Amino acid sequence: MSTQAKQKLFVALTILLCLAVLAAGVLLSYGYYAQGRNLRPVDMKQYAKVEMEDEVYTVSVDADAIVKDFRLPNPKTTNLDLERYPDVAAVYSLTFLVTPREEGGWLVQTGSDRPNAAADLRKGGLKLVDTEWTWTEQDMKNAYRAGLEYPRRLSMKKYVLCGKNSMGGYVLTVDHERLLRATGWDLPADEATRKAHTGYKAVMSLGYYVTPLVEGFLVETSSTLESVYTMLLDNGVRLTDTTWTYTMAEVEEIYAEQHPAVPEEEPAPEADGNVQEAFAQEGQPLVSLRQVDQTPIRTAIRTAKEQKYGQTLRSSEVVGNCFAIKKSDGAEYTNCFRLVYKIETTARTEYLVADLFDLVQGRTPAASEVRLTGKNSLEEALGIGDFDPNLYTIQILQEGSMVYPEDAGTSPFNGDGLLFPESLSERITDAQVWSLPIPQDMTLLELLGYARNEIFARNGNKFSDSSAYTRFYSNYTWYQPRGSISFNAIQAKYPVACENIEFFKTLEQLIKEG
């Protein structure tokens, strides 16, 4: 064969080889994308992955499961160029938008940050279906539980509470409440039935046995039940990290995180003319309770009441409250703060009138100054005949407060429906509470309920549909209920807010029970 013939043959073979490679590529591409003619449905509800952290649910797309179920190339196990596989890229671009609904529950909608995600998915023969649905709180909870591994592995090292004993030593205990939430169990609300739940009994039996070491501690999980691990496993929970060591620095760090230091108060600013004028009122007789801190007055009366009854006191309820102010020179007292109690003792029910006389601005009364008078009937106890209306002006207080003309038209709530917008990070004082203007249709006791619950509302707590808090806070765009938010969940983010919650509850108790 001549050289020219050989050259022509070589060129022909090269062309044929190139055409074969090209045809193979076309056939492979066709085989990969031909299934687009017969689109396979991807039920998005099936691939919704629900997770929970601090009782807040998040919903994400389980893209790995879609890739596996529909046998798409996996970019996590191969060196895949996603530019050549837009359908795979589209799968990993999928997200869920979760929107709380006014009537409760959530609207879940499928979305993507990829402009042509639907078209790209069709190239791989995929079509999204069931892309939008509504979940109730129970639906969300069920989806969360369904996604939990079985058995659920829970590290005991994650549920440590660190405190101190009276000698200043560190004490490690189990955070049973967080551990119960992490199990995913749907425990009954009835306390007796809950305590009968074997898993609940197992969790509540857990504790830590701590052994001091040279430079730290050995921590071992303990239980009052011999079969605790079997009981937990029967309920789908396996404990891990049941024994470990802590250095002293690690324990100190845990304690510091759970008990943040109280910041020192800033020094008071130098008094200006207005402040000097306010302080000039100190030492003067009280002529009104408007913006007066009643806490020390009520505390003195409560102390006197408890000293009178001692261990025989079973319960007390404030059934009457008034403030008498001198208006004539013939009056014996400049003023009188009166609480009327219904008292339950171990022997009987009786009524008690507690009086504090001649109160002055800026002075804390003592329990020894309180005059206590027993009465046989409620009608007798509520009578104010000992204050001559010609000599005294009587202000009747309703649940710790009354409406003052000076506050008329002034709402205690700001434009966002909040009483104390700073309560998440700053301590609220008695003076701030007692200075709240009281609207005609509310009492201070009711306002304290709002002050306490606005902290839960701002953290996404969902109140019952019939709750007054639901109706009130739903008027504001900031209120985005996500589910039941616990005290501990708030404490992890806003420890000062939880101090304020306890403060409001203490004041509520002081007003209701004295």
Residues in the chain: 514
Backbone phi, psi, residue 302, to 5°: -60, -45
What parts of the chain have a pLDDT lower than 50?
32-37, 262-280
Lookup: tokens for 122? 């069709």
User: What pLDDT sits at residue 30?
Assistant: 52
Residue indicated by tokens 């402009």 = 115
What phi and psi values does residue 187 have, to the nearest 5 degrees? -75, 145
Q: Burial letters for 362-387: b for 16+ Cβ neighbours within 10 Å, e otherwise? A: eeebebeebeeeebeeeeebeebeeb
pLDDT for position 263: 47
- Residue 228 is predicted with a pLDDT of 92
Q: What pLDDT, in 10s, does the model give residues 273-313?
A: 443 333 335 678 999 898 899 999 999 999 999 999 888 98
277 burial level (CB within 10 Å; 0-12, 13-18, 19+): exposed
Q: Which has the closest alpha carbon to 423: 492, 487, 504, 304?
A: 504
List pLDDT tens digits, range 436-494.
999 888 899 999 999 999 999 999 998 888 888 999 999 999 999 988 888 888 888 89
User: Which residues contact residue 333 at a Cβ distance below 8 angstroms, ignoring those fewer than 6 apart?
Assistant: 324, 326, 357, 358
Name the 3-class secondary structure at 234.
Answer: helix
Q: Which residues pair with 59 in a beta bridge?
A: 50
Residue type at position 160 = V
Is 300 strand, coil or helix? helix
**CA-to-CA distance for 87 and 119, rounded, in angstroms?**
8
CA separation for the pair 108, 255 (Å, rounded): 39
- Find out whether 135 and 222 touch, Cβ atoms under 8 Å: no
Pick from 288, 345, 360, 299: nearest CA to 511: 299
CA angle 48, 53, 55 (to 5 degrees): 95
Tokens of 399: 């649940």
Domain boundaries, the chain: 36-146, 152-258, 284-396, 406-513
Q: What contacts 165, CB < 8 A, 6 or more positions away?
A: 171
DSSP 92-140: HHEEEEEEE-TTSSEEEEEEESSTTHHHHHHHTTEEEES-EEEE-HHHH
Following CA atoms 21, 26, 28, 29 in sequence, which dihedral angle do they give, to the nearest 10 degrees? 140
Burial 154-187 (b: 16+ CB within 10 A, else e): bebeebbbbeeeeeeebebebbbebbbbbbbbee
Pure H helices in 35-85: 63-69
Residue partners of 177: CB distance under 8 A and separation at least 6: 486, 488
Q: Decide if 451 contacts 428 (C-beta within 8 A).
A: yes
Q: How many helices (H) and strands (E) does the chain have?
A: 18, 19
399 dihedral zone (left: phi>0; alpha: psi -120 to 50; beta): left
| 281 contacts 361 by C-beta, under 8 angstroms | yes
Interatomic CA distance for residues 495 and 263, integer angstroms: 12
Give the span between the Cα atoms of 10 and 401, in whole angstroms. 105
CA distance 88 to 125: 11
Question: Structure tokens of 461?
Answer: 């707590």
